[in-house]
Amino acid sequence: MRQSFAKSCQGWCNGLTFERLTMADAPTRHTGTAPTIRDVAALAGVATSTVSRALSNPDRVNRVTRERIEKIAAELNYVPSSQARGLSSGRTNAIALLVPDVTNPFYFDIIRGTQNQLKAAGYTQLLVDTEESAEMEADTLRKMQRTADGFILAASRLSDATLAEAAANQAIVTINRSSSYAPTVMIDTPGAVIQALEHLTSLGHSRICYVGGPSSSWSNAKRWKTFDDETRDRGLTTSRVGPFAPKMTSGAAAADAAVRTGATACIVFNDLLAIGMLQRLRERGIRVPEDMSIVGCDDIFGADFCNPPLTTMASPIEQAGRVAVSMLLAQLGPLRSASSRRLAVMPTHLTVRGSTGSAPQQG
Amino acid sequence: MRQSFAKSCQGWCNGLTFERLTMADAPTRHTGTAPTIRDVAALAGVATSTVSRALSNPDRVNRVTRERIEKIAAELNYVPSSQARGLSSGRTNAIALLVPDVTNPFYFDIIRGTQNQLKAAGYTQLLVDTEESAEMEADTLRKMQRTADGFILAASRLSDATLAEAAANQAIVTINRSSSYAPTVMIDTPGAVIQALEHLTSLGHSRICYVGGPSSSWSNAKRWKTFDDETRDRGLTTSRVGPFAPKMTSGAAAADAAVRTGATACIVFNDLLAIGMLQRLRERGIRVPEDMSIVGCDDIFGADFCNPPLTTMASPIEQAGRVAVSMLLAQLGPLRSASSRRLAVMPTHLTVRGSTGSAPQQG
DNA sequence: AACACATGCGCGAACTCCAGGCAAAGATCA
DNA sequence: TGATCTTTGCCTGGAGTTCGCGCATGTGTT
């Protein structure tokens, strides 16, 4: 073995000694922090490349050598720097999740879903709040193009053109934002709206109001369209109020506007807004569901314990996050998405709770 | 971009669509198009080092050259790879936030706070769920030692020894986990518990139960100790039940246990558990607050609109997250924490809502 | 038994991208 | 014209991966 050429040097890791070839002194700092691949290689008496392969491509290294290297690496607590690894491989093992508003519980569920799935796949999640701004979203996408291997855009505010451009340059999956440019996870809102309408009409409601969310929201447009299409043939009196910001505080304005339309039931853009409305209605002495029925959307945390509990179009949000991750990773995989899905539709169902009831008798 | 991408994109419909890559360069490394500093340098007719300086150290480069470089960089959409930058600087510009459970709304607020503050400082947030496991927490800390510049541990489950060791090697700030090894942001639970006790006794309650959270939780221990100390001198009949997992589903068991103690009021480890208890008590026909008063802790999302709205020890959780970030960044700064704060205590106040009321008259 | 060929293993160099030190070249001033 | 700046280029370091290649066996053939 070549170790006979080596001379023993002063160990710098917990009193261990190691062999070093008679070369110019490599500038290995012994700061006690973060051992590098070189440290491992020196201790194991092999080249750095061998260490690299032993750890990342084990079957291309002799078993004894590999085990020795693994042992030493473990002793040193060696962790390959993902920074340096990413340099040559071009990958970061991180994916970014862009949400319009970390404040919104809807996105919490998505965060949770992606987080779980990414961790399972050994990826790191980079969480970014784009503050409901398309510009900020595009900006983040640009700035992080090298930082993340891929992006999940939840409820993207991007224009079609911008999204197309972005998707051409990086791996992207959208959630609740249909697009022909990037794979998408859709939550089946149309189906849910239809269920909600059926529920309300079967309870005798004939004057129904759609309480709209932000105008830049794709899913809001979709929900309204379905609502509009489906009510046309049923002899219902419909109205629409909004747009309202998807926050609880907008609930007061939304409730007042909805009441003014004379409707006896509302289908509301999302649960946050709906819960805000419930509060306002109670303040005003309007009983739910006796005077007014409310249907929310998303089934967020809190929809089950608000007062009254909210009837809502429940969607498997967390699962949507997980599916988005799978689709993204498939895109990144070696098979290059030859057959990977472009669209996943998450099923939705109506969860009936206390906020909907029979239509009030006509005075 | 140069990609002729718009072709062969199926419209989306219900059902699944498949993508087929018809482009010549099958391995469309999305990053293959990402310009490097070399591209910019070549186009600008300067050396790469000049580009580097022009962008990160502008006053060391002639204005005309700099502007030319900036223009070209902008045209190319050039973004320096944080990977490579980190290599030489040793910094990643990323901070990891470790939370025991992303599911818990309490941490949502922390996530939100750190997210905002980090973004403002130009840092990326790496979110990790440690699943309430000390081992997993330590593991993450080790694995990410090179990935993040610093760590924020929310409600750390680490043992003192492990925490000490970790803090010796990396920049760490803890939230709600006192320690002499790392700077800490504390939420003033003792103060809150005292306020809650005063509130309850002033309402005539004399039999009060503490509903405990997980035994590994430092703040749970702290809350119980304060409760115990403070009730001793007041001639109150106290009891303790638990430990319970800090989840809504544990509320049922917690409620049943609390009722059995004969207490007329409960101080509950956190709001999640408290809200779960409210549900159970209603199921059992026990009225809140007429038969039983409930005080939660944290004032999470939902505490204001549950039924009845929850009286709770409100803490500025989001602000705690922000402060943690500031403390961490101070630690990372050039001054090396010589004078940076080791402890921040966030004030707390009792927010009285509908879940507390006068003690029931003795039968 | 000797030789040719095949295989496995590990080395070293080249590469990734950026920052920064040093030095050279050009510009300005005395 | 020499001295002092100012600008800019060259080169190296930093941590890891990848690839070509040589060395040392191992196998098969005559």
Q: Is the CB of B33 under 7 A from strand C?
A: no
Run of H or E residues at A297: strand A293-298
* C-alpha to C-alpha distance for A243 and B287, rounded to whole angstroms: 39
**Other CB atoms closer than 10 Å to residue B193's CB: what's the count?**
27
Residue that the structure tokens 């080791």 belong to: B342
Whether the per-residue pLDDT at B254 is higher than 50: the answer is yes
* C-alpha to C-alpha distance for B322 and B327, rounded to whole angstroms: 9
Task: Give the SS3 label for residue B266.
Answer: strand
Whether the per-residue pLDDT at A227 is higher than 90: the answer is yes
- Kindly state the average pLDDT of the residues B60-82: 87
* pLDDT at residue number A45: 87
* C-alpha to C-alpha distance for A251 and A341, rounded to whole angstroms: 38
Q: Which of residues 69-128 of A touch B (CB under 8 A)?
A: 77, 79, 81-84, 86-87, 90, 92, 94, 102-103, 105, 108, 111-112, 115-116, 119, 124-128
Minimum Cα–Cα distance from A80: chain B residue: B146
Contacts of B159 (CB under 8 A, 6+ apart): B134
Query: A38 to chain B, minimum CA–CA distance in Å?
Result: 15
Which residues pair with residue B186 across a beta bridge? Answer: B345
* pLDDT at residue number B30: 39
- Kindly state the average pLDDT of the residues B50-54: 89
* pLDDT at residue number B44: 87
Q: Is the CB of B89 under 7 A from strand D?
A: no
Q: Do A77 and B142 touch (CB under 8 A)?
A: yes
Percent of chain A whose predicted confidence (pLDDT) is above 90: 50
Residues from chain A that touch B105, judged by Cβ atoms under 8 A, are 105, 108, 301
- Kindly state the average pLDDT of the residues B154-162: 91
* pLDDT at residue number A32: 45
| Long-range contacts of residues A240-243, Cβ cutoff 8 Å, at least 24 apart | A240/A209, A240/A210, A240/A211, A240/A212, A241/A209, A241/A210, A241/A211, A241/A212, A242/A210, A242/A211, A242/A212, A242/A213, A242/A269, A243/A212, A243/A213, A243/A214, A243/A215
More confident call, A90 vs A243? A243
Q: Does B48 touch chain A (CB under 8 A)?
A: no
Q: Is the CB of B43 under 7 A from strand D?
A: no
A223-237, B11-25, B232-246, B306-320: the lowest-pLDDT one: B11-25
* pLDDT at residue number A191: 87
Find the angle CA(B154)-CA(A155)-CA(B325) to the nearest 5 degrees.
25
More confident call, A311 vs A65? A311
A10-24, A305-319, B123-137: the lowest-pLDDT one: A10-24
User: Which is it for the CA torsion A159, A162, A167, A168, positive or negative?
Assistant: positive
Q: What is the pLDDT of residues B322-362, one digit of tens each?
A: 999 999 998 887 655 555 678 999 999 999 999 999 988 86
More confident call, A86 vs A289? A289
Domains identified in chain B and CATH numbers: 1-80 (1.10.260.40), 91-187+318-346 (3.40.50.2300), 189-315 (3.40.50.2300)
Whether the per-residue pLDDT at B18 is higher than 60: the answer is no
Minimum Cα–Cα distance from B301: chain A residue: A302
Q: Do B16 and A342 touch (CB under 8 A)?
A: yes
DSSP state of A2: G
Residue nearest to nucleotide C16 (CA to C1'): A88
Query: B201 to chain A, minimum CA–CA distance in Å?
Result: 28
* C-alpha to C-alpha distance for B135 and B145, rounded to whole angstroms: 15
Q: Is the CB of B186 under 7 A from strand C?
A: no
* C-alpha to C-alpha distance for B341 and B151, rounded to whole angstroms: 16
Q: Do A34 and B146 touch (CB under 8 A)?
A: yes
* pLDDT at residue number B24: 29
Number of H helices, E strands in chain B: 12, 12
* pLDDT at residue number A7: 31
Mean pLDDT of chain B: 85
* pLDDT at residue number A79: 86
Run of H or E residues at A74: helix A63-76
Q: What is the pLDDT of residues A116-169, one digit of tens each?
A: 999 888 899 999 999 888 999 998 998 888 889 999 999 998 999 999 988 888
Whether the per-residue pLDDT at A26 is higher than 50: the answer is no
